[in-house]
Amino acid sequence: MSEPAARPKALTIGLHPRAMDYSRTPDLDEAQLTARIDAANDALRNSEFDVTPLLVDASPDDAESDLRTLFANHRFDVVMIGGAIRALPDQTLLFERIINVLTEAAPGIRFCFNTSPETTLDALRRARVPI
Task: Give, as one character, the DSSP assignment of residue 90.
Answer: G
pLDDT at 131 (0 to 100): 54
Show Cβ contacts of residue 123 under 8 Å, excluding neighbours closer than 6 positions: 80, 112, 113, 114
* CB distance 49 to 7 below 8 Å: yes
SS3 11: strand
Q: For 87, phi and psi rounded to 5 degrees? A: -100, -15
| pTM reported for the whole predicted model | 0.91
Q: Does residue 2 surpass a pLDDT of 60?
A: no
pLDDT tens string 48-95: 999 999 999 999 999 999 999 999 999 999 999 999 999 999 999 999
Task: Give the pLDDT band (50/70/90) at residue 128.
Answer: confident
SS3 127: coil
* Residue 103 CB neighbours (<10 A): 12
* CB distance 85 to 98 below 8 Å: yes
